Structure 1
Amino acid sequence: MFLKIGIAIFSTLILSCGTTVKQTESTSTEETTSKEETVDPQKMIAAGYMLGTIIYSDKENDCPYTIQMPGDKMEFYYLDPINLDETYKVDGLKVWVKFNGLRRMNRCDKATPAEITDIKKGG
């Protein structure tokens, strides 16, 4: 009986060590990918992202930062991101964005309120 318990403990130790190594390897691979910041447009679109451009405005009745999104027939529409992080508040910055439209009153004339669910710098 002690032999069976010893084998069970030994196997658990061996298996848990192997799992730790795999987690470390996958973490380092993810860090390398994010540092390179090479984005494949087809993969981003397949993952549900849309390419947009951050637009700054200081006009009256206008949102300070909007995201210009491509629309149908070469027209654009604008999003008013309610939760845009400070690092993305750069005029002309291209971003890949996932968002949810919000059913609430507009804060500015030209843009539709939206909540950003995920955003990445793009190009």
Structure 2
Amino acid sequence: MRSPDVDEVAFGLAGGCVGVIGAAFVSAAAFPPAETGARLLVMALAAGVIAAIVADWRAWLGVTVFAALVYVGFLAGHDGTLTVHGSAWASTLLIAFAALLGRGQRWMRQALERRPVH
């Protein structure tokens, strides 16, 4: 018998990765390859929203890493092919920061819900 915790991580990770892939398609369709900043912003926004929604910390951390890999591998290049660009790795800090903001918002909301109202 599987633990419900394992299911929560697996479904959170799978759903988050689907969201990241959807954001990558939107960003690739909406912005030309030369506009890497706009593409990065879309991926950072997606990572932040997913981090706020997904309950388990392992799932949102995995989704954040996946978002950074998709950005560097597919969206930062000008050809639209799977290539790794060394200069794009520094830009992924924005994805990590957005995910931390999303997670921080979740932590704050949970802390407020647990606090008794006087």
More strand by share: 1
Q: Same fold (TM over 0.5)?
A: no
Structure of greater Rg: 1
Structure with greater contact order relative to length (CA < 8 Å, sep ≥ 6): 2
More helix by share: 2
TM-score range, shorter chain: under 0.3
> TM-score when scaled to structure 1?
0.24
